[in-house]
Homo-oligomer: A and B are copies of this chain.
């Protein structure tokens, strides 16, 4: 399926803003979660450099029924940025400016293509930080974080990206430019279109500017790790720490398999046993808080609790934790991670969720390393299978679905921070129910009646298993 994108040559864009070159199109046919063979070539790639450019392209594309799929770093996991119905890949990476920093209001304005780490850097010049920065911050953009409702290691203390977005400028499919939210820290003025756009995966609008909130850097930081003999001890310690109100800024768990893979990939020397990484932020009394956490962990038989002032050694551990996704991919050339992603459950179900995944691994004779933002009840799973072994694939698929179903059945979510994209569409109705998904569809049709924006995403395919655009139904 291709669309006629020749109209792009007639728009008020520079020559270098439009490409029909195969190499360029191929660079926009997938994201990190796309399996070989599932790529979809866009018919053209457009590089807007301003809000006006985005508006021009969207208005023209909508008039011609040509799909537009926003793209930036391409580091999404669920196919969110794949141009499932071809058309235009709208590459926002040239809109990467930090437009304004207002430290007196803890705010900055950025374009969507700016990297998360650049936000943190710009904030750092004023002694501030962007607390919800995802672990992938150095390789993912603000636009992607907003589109996929991302979060990060510090979400356990500071909240999600969504909690730190004050205002969004965005372009609707018809080319109109809206401003959602306020630069005030709170507002009750009209519908909250800001949070409606956050997590809508580019299916409702294209974000062209974001005003983000910042926080002061804490005066005291401590970081380190704890180890446990058993996985059940580790998850019980995590649950207890959260339930006891330990004020922790990062609370991450990696299981023995993940530790093993991290060592192989990152050259760390983590013991191959369940490890919990922690970090504490405070202006006063941080060591009392560390001691409190240590006492909670001790009650769950921690075999090691090693926390010190944040230093380079700790940074290495964090790097290993951040690189786990790569580590899983490169562990065994014969094993491929099947649908890597995440679920999130209420914290009291966290240990059960991890245990369930491990039991499934045993039952199906699979390797399922788990890690994630434990303090949020978040589990990143990776079902590793030999894709040349159909039986293994079938068992892996079953295990994957069971893990996701487990989360949904316990009041949790099928995707904590990577969106629905293509990969999790089958779970949308299962999680929310028909009536709720129907309401979502009504919102989609209201703001994008021609289904121009990122068609095929988020909503389940309903016609004969064939990808259909929402407007077709």
Of A67-75, A264-272, A392-400, A425-433, the one touching chain B: A425-433
Say which residue of B244, B245, B407, B428 sits within 8 Å of A190 (CB atoms): B428
Report A428 CB to chain B, min CB distance, Å: 6
Is there contact, CB below 8 Å, between B189 and A432?
Answer: yes
Whether A440 contacts B184 in the complex (CB less than 8 A), given A285-B282, A289-B283, comes out as no
Is there contact, CB below 8 Å, between A183 and B439?
Answer: no
* A6 interface contact, C-beta 8 A: no
Is there contact, CB below 8 Å, between A183 and B411?
Answer: yes
* A46 interface contact, C-beta 8 A: no
Say which residue of B189, B243, B411 sits within 8 Å of A182 (CB atoms): B411
CA–CA, A445 and B103, complex, Å: 40
* A93 interface contact, C-beta 8 A: no
Say which residue of B149, B196, B204, B433 sits within 8 Å of A178 (CB atoms): B433
Is there contact, CB below 8 Å, between B416 and A188?
Answer: yes
Residue of B nearest to A427 (CB): B189
* A345 interface contact, C-beta 8 A: yes
CA–CA, A176 and B433, complex, Å: 11
Is there contact, CB below 8 Å, between A188 and B412?
Answer: no
Residue of B nearest to A373 (CB): B186
Say which residue of B107, B190, B216, B438 sits within 8 Å of A176 (CB atoms): B438
Is there contact, CB below 8 Å, between B184 and A192?
Answer: no
Contacts of A444 in B (CB 8 A): 191
CA–CA, A215 and B102, complex, Å: 31
CA–CA, A58 and B418, complex, Å: 36
Of A114-122, A155-163, A328-336, the one touching chain B: A155-163
